[in-house]
Chains A and B, each alone.
Chain A
Amino acid sequence: MSDTYNLRGKVAIAGVGETTYYKHGQSPDPEFKLVLKAILAACRDAGISPKEIDGFCSYSDDRNDPPRLANALGIPELRYSNMQWTSGGGGAAAAVQNAAGAIMSGSARVVVAYRGLAQGQFGRFGRSGGSKPVSGQAAYLLPFGMMSAAQMYAMRTTRLLHDHNIDRSTMRSIALTCYHHAQNNPRAIMRGRTLDDETYDASRWITEPFRLYDCCLENDGAAAMIVVSTDYAKELRDSPVLLLGAQQSGGHRSGAWAENPTDYVTSSFKPAAKYLYEQAGVKPEDVDVVQSYENFTGGVVMSLIEHGLCTYENANEILTFENLRADGGSLPLNTSGGNLAECYMHGLGLQIEAVRQIRGDSSNQVKNAQVALANAGPMVAVASTAIYGSEEALG
C-alpha cells in the first residue's frame, strides 16, 4: 500500500441500525422521526449513548439536517455537520468516507452517517408534476418527457448493451438475485414475493430498455451507521468491522448536462476503482461479497465491470443467478435484497449489509466473508464506493 493512503483500518463501523422499512407512503412516522429512530437503533447496536455523537454526515440533500438532529438528541457538542453533493443516492459510501475523515482528523469522535426517506411525505426523486416553466438542464429534458430517474439512466444502458454486446440476461440475473436474497431477510419489503425468469420477462416496460423489475423500489424508512476510531470500536466490540477504503468518483465532465459526459457508458466508477483497491490493500479477487447499488440493473452491470469484478467480455457468463447468489455463488451480490427487494434507502442499506457480512450476521451470510465491497449511485455525476473488512483482512 502506498504511503499516500492512510485510511486503511483506522476507523470502524461500531453499529448499524434502521427503522422498519415501509412501502412508499406507508410509514406511520414522519421522515425526521424515522431518522431519530434509526440513529437510536444504531447507537443501541454499537452500545453507546446517543449523547456521544458529535458529528453527522449525509448526502443527496437529506432534508434532516444535523443542527435539528443534534438539538433533538440533546447532543452536548456538534463538531461536524456534513453533506455530500451528488445526484441520486451516489453519496452513501461518501457519507461513511466523510465520517471517517472527521474521525481520522480528530474533528469528531463519534460520527453518524445516515439517510432518511419518506417518499410518501415528500415525493420521489425525479417525479415531476407542476406546470411552471423549467430552466437550466431541466429545460433540455422535461419538455421531451424525460424526467424520471429511470429515464435519466436508460440511454446509457441502451448504449452499454449496444457497445459491449452485453446480454439483457445479465440485468435479469441481478433482479432475480436481489429477490432471491430478500426471501431470507426479515427486513425486506419483497420478502414473500419471489421473482422468476418468466415473471421478469413478462413485466411491463417502464422505459425500454428497463422493465419494471430493473428499477429500484420506492420506500419510507431511515438507516444509520456509527463511525468511530478502530481503537474505540475495539472497546465496544470484540471484532469490529473496519473501513479499508472509500472513494468518491466522477470522470471528466461526468456532470455535463443533457447526456454530455465525455465518457458516456460508465457507472462513474472508473476513477474510483484504481484508488479504492490501493487504499484498501486488496484486489478485486479478494472481495468475498459485493453490495452494488441498483438504481437500475444496467448500472450494476457497469459497476461490477468498472470495479474489476468481471469484464465487458465475460459479463454475460459471470453475471448469472447461479454465480450471484450468496449460497454457493462465486460473486455473491446484494445479499440483503438491495434497493430492488430489501428497501430503497438510497443505498445506505447496502453499506449496512456489507458490515453485516463482515460481522457474520447477514440473513444470507457468505461463508467466512472477510472483505465486502459496497458502492453507491452508478451513472450519477459523483458515485462513491467503499470496502469493509475484518481485522483478519488487514493481514
Chain B
Amino acid sequence: MTRITNEIYLPGLRQPAPMPDGLDAPFWEGTLKSEIRVQKCLSCETHQWGPEWMCHSCNSMDIEWVVLESACRIYSWQRPHHPVHSALKDRGPYIIVVVEFPQADGLRMVGNLLGDSMQDVVIGSQVTPVFEQHLEATPPYALLQWEVA
C-alpha cells in the first residue's frame, strides 16, 4: 500500500532539486506523482540506482525509466541521536533506513522509517512507501519515505 502525507518527518532540512544536467529529473517528477521511478536498461534489462547516463552492466546508453512495484524490505538502518544540522537540534533521535528491492536487481534507496523513533528496527522487515509531499516548497517536491508494512 502506498500512502501520501503532508506531515514532514524532518522539517527544516535542505530540499532536493533535480540535477542541473537533467539526469534524475524523472525520479523527482515521479515522487510528486507518488511513483517510484528508477532506471532500467533497454538492452539488458538491468535496473540501476543511483541514476547514471550509462548502464553499468552492458554499457548501453539506451536507458528508460520504469515505475517500481512497492515491494521492498529493510536492508540496513541507523538511528541518529546527535543533531547534524541546526534544524535537528530539538528533534531527538530519528531513523534512517536503506531499503532494497529484490525484484529490481536488489537496488537500494535511502529514506526515513516513519513512526516511533525508538521502535525496534528489524532487517528484512517489509516496508511500504509514503510520499511526503512538500507542496508549499518552491518548487514543490515529494520525498520517498517508508513505514513498516
- Which A residues contact B (CB, under 8 angstroms)? 126-148, 150-151, 154-156, 158-159, 162, 204-209, 253, 256-260, 264
Contacts and interface: CB of A to CB of B under 8 A. Distances in A.
Q: Name, among A139, A158, A162, A205, the residue most crowded by chain B CB atoms within 10 Å (CB to CB).
A: A139
A123 to B, nearest CB: 12
A135 B18 contact: yes
Interface in B25-59: 28, 49-51, 56
Contact of A155 (B28, B56, B76, B109): B76
B108 A258 contact: yes
A125 to B, nearest CB: 12
B65 interface: no
Contacts, number: 138
Nearest to B107: A260
Interface of B: 10, 13-20, 24, 28, 49-51, 56, 75-82, 84-86, 88, 93-94, 96, 98, 107-112, 123, 143, 145
Given A140-B110, A144-B111, A158-B76, A133 B84 contact: no
14 contacts: A128-B85, A135-B17, A135-B19, A135-B20, A138-B16, A146-B110, A158-B77, A159-B76, A162-B123, A206-B82, A208-B78, A257-B50, A259-B108, A259-B110
Given A131-B14, A134-B17, A155-B77, A145 B82 contact: no
Given A151-B96, A205-B81, A145 B76 contact: no
Contacts of A258: 49-50, 108-110
Contacts of B10: 143-145
Nearest to A137: B50
B42 to A, nearest CB: 20
B85 A147 contact: yes
Contacts of B82: 148, 150, 204-207
Contacts of B143: 143-144
Contact of A207 (B49, B76, B78, B112): B78
B17 A146 contact: no
A143 B31 CA distance: 14
Contact of A158 (B51, B78, B85): B78
Give the 6 A-B residue pairs with the shortest CB-CB distance, closest first.
A257-B50, A139-B16, A133-B17, A154-B78, A207-B80, A155-B76
Given A135-B16, A144-B96, A127 B84 contact: yes
Contacts of B112: 144-145
Most buried by B among A136, A144, A151: A144
A151 B96 CA distance: 9
Interface centre among B20, B84, B110, B145, by most chain A C-beta atoms within 10 angstroms, is B84
A77 B66 CA distance: 56
A136 B17 CA distance: 8
A257 B98 CA distance: 12
A135 to B, nearest CB: 5
A207 B17 contact: no
Contacts of B16: 133-135, 138-140, 142-143
Contacts of B110: 140-141, 144, 146, 258-259
A126 B94 CA distance: 18
Nearest to A210: B78
A133 B20 contact: no
Nearest to A131: B14
B49 A145 contact: no
Contact of A260 (B50, B78, B86): B50
A253 B85 contact: no
Output the residue of B18, B28, B77 with the most chain A CB within 10 A: B77
B99 to A, nearest CB: 9
Contact of B17 (A139, A208, A259): A139
Contacts of A142: 13-14, 16
Contacts of B17: 133-135, 139
A151 B97 CA distance: 11
Given A140-B50, A146-B80, 15 more contacts: A129-B86, A131-B14, A133-B17, A135-B16, A139-B16, A140-B109, A142-B14, A145-B80, A151-B78, A155-B76, A158-B78, A258-B109, A259-B76, A259-B108, A264-B75
Contacts of B79: 205, 207-208
Nearest to A133: B17
B8 to A, nearest CB: 10
A164 B93 CA distance: 26
A227 B20 CA distance: 42
A260 B96 contact: no
Contacts of B96: 144-146, 151, 155
Given A144-B96, A146-B110, A162-B123, A133 B81 contact: no
A168 to B, nearest CB: 14
A273 to B, nearest CB: 24
B52 to A, nearest CB: 9
A212 to B, nearest CB: 8
